[in-house]
């Protein structure tokens, strides 16, 4: 274990990595915090400071850090066969679990990440529909690749990155989460063949979808002949053992998965209708191509990942973990709202399933859109983030966090007390009024 301080490690990192980080959202001024150990819902930085973790590995660790059964399964597989690049029994068992749990899963193809899953799902949607353009919802997130990045920054009809060709961006159509508006767009543009939806609403539910949106978009795409893709990278195995689609009874054509579905390890999957998924089969041929849709990836269904994922499927399939996580999130939201009321702050903690989001623009999210969330003053964004980290609480972002199996009522109540102290400090310093 390193004995360097956070500041010393940051200086070393800046000398070898752009900005000193390996992910945009890990950047923090004056420097990031470097973590050395994590267990359950707690983690410790290199200086020995403890944090209550509501990030949980970017929502991937619903079972908590270093869950003993998952860790044991991965460790055992490391000694038996870590990776050979071959087929292996565990990938079949893992795929069978997904087919049992997710209503849309008639066939499964594993990928290297959630981003790769959305890339593959779009390729399949284009192949099935025979049309190049894709419609996605404003503010929803489907990974960092060129093909769906446009529209991820709410209210902007351009990609939030340099390096994306205009010809690629032109193939993506951004629409509001309004079924009537989407119907009009689809009717006017016959080149659109695929529709993507983050089923929680933008950014795992910080902007919830309108009531009835999912069944309505399912009916619309069926009527008009479009391939419907549900992005359940975060909701899969969090909203229920079969994701939001199982909880709400709405079945898409394809579903993209990662995070919890991989046991919190690197990887992802696309599941969906056999008719579409069989386009990936090397045993099939179309237009002289076998397989018609090409997909590769060195670490797809890597044995160590599959071992951890299968053990996670066993634990999560009962729904008991999700029920506990939901209960802890409700306790957290209730505690935060009591803090706001006690301090006379016009803000709201809200969320579905095991999530908690914060809105500082009033006490109702009626009519809330993703662009409004983004307009939170930067001084408040940084102030609350820093105040919580200084006191030992880590959120997934300034406005959002998740809960999991290892969160206990005592940890939740401790976090609420810390939040109360942080809010009081922001009021005292004039950051929050």
Predicted confidence at residue 395, as pLDDT, reads: 95
- Span 125-179, pLDDT tens digits: 999 999 999 999 999 999 999 999 999 988 888 899 999 999 999 999 999 999 9
Q: What pLDDT does residue 282 have?
A: 93
pLDDT of residue 2: 52
The pLDDT profile of the chain, 433 residues, written as one tens digit per residue, is 457 899 999 999 999 999 989 998 888 888 999 999 999 999 999 999 999 999 999 999 999 999 999 999 999 999 999 999 999 999 999 999 999 999 999 999 999 999 999 999 999 999 999 999 999 999 999 999 999 999 998 888 889 999 999 999 999 999 999 999 999 999 999 999 999 999 999 988 999 999 999 999 999 999 999 999 999 999 999 999 999 999 999 999 999 999 999 999 999 999 999 999 999 999 988 888 889 999 999 999 999 999 999 999 999 999 999 999 999 999 999 999 999 999 999 999 999 999 999 999 888 888 777 677 767 888 998 999 999 999 999 999 878 999 999 999 999 999 999 999 999 999 999 999 8
Domains of the chain: 33-66+319-428 (3.90.1150.10), 68-316 (3.40.640.10)
In tens, the pLDDT along 195-242 reads 999 999 998 899 999 999 999 999 999 999 999 999 999 999 999 999
**Looking at residue 290, what is its pLDDT?**
87
| pLDDT confidence of residue 375 | 75
Structure tokens at 364: 């109702």
């Amino acid at each position: 274990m390193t004995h360097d301080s956070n500041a010393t490690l940051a200086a070393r990192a800046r000398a070898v990595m752009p900005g000193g980080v390996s992910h945009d959202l890990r950047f923090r001024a004056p420097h990031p915090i470097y973590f050395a150990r994590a267990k359950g819902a707690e983690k410790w930085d290199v200086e020995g400071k403890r944090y209550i973790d509501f990030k949980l590995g970017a929502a991937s660790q619903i079972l908590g850090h270093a869950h003993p059964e998952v860790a044991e399964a991965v460790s055992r597989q490391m000694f038996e066969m870590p990776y050979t690049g071959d087929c292996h029994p565990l990938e079949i068992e893992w795929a069978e679990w997904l087919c049992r749990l997710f209503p849309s899963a008639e066939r499964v193809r594993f990928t290297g990440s959630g981003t790769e899953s959305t890339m593959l799902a779009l390729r399949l949607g284009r192949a099935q529909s025979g049309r190049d353009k894709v419609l996605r919802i404003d503010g929803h997130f489907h990974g960092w690749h060129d093909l769906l990045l446009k529209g991820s920054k709410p209210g902007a009809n351009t990609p939030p990155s340099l390096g994306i060709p205009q010809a690629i961006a032109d193939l993506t159509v951004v629409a509001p989460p309004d079924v009537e508006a989407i119907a009009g767009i689809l009717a006017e543009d016959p080149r659109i063949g695929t529709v993507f939806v983050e089923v929680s609403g933008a950014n795992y539910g910080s902007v919830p979808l309108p009531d009835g949106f999912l069944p309505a978009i399912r009916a619309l795409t069926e009527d008009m002949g479009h391939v419907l893709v549900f992005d359940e990278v975060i909701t899969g195995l969090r909203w229920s053992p079969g994701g939001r689609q199982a909880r709400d009874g709405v079945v898409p054509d394809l579903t993209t998965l990662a995070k919890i579905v991989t046991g919190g390890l690197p990887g992802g999957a696309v599941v969906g209708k056999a008719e579409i998924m069989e386009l990936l089969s090397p045993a099939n041929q179309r237009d002289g191509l076998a397989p018609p849709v090409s997909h590769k990836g060195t670490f797809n269904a890597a044995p160590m990942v599959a071992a951890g994922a299968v053990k996670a499927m066993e634990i999560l399939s009962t729904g008991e973990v999700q029920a506990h996580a939901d209960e802890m999130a409700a306790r957290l939201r209730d505690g935060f709202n009591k803090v706001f009321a006690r301090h006379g702050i016009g803000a709201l903690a809200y969320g579905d399933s095991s999530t908690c989001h914060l809105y500082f623009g009033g006490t109702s999210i009626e009519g809330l859109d993703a662009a409004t969330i983004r307009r939170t003053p930067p001084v408040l964004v940084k102030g609350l983030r820093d105040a919580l980290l200084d006191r030992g609480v880590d959120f997934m972002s300034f406005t959002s966090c998740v809960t999991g199996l290892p969160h206990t009522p005592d940890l939740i109540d401790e976090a609420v007390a810390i939040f109360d102290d942080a809010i009081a400090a922001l009021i005292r310093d004039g950051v929050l009024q």
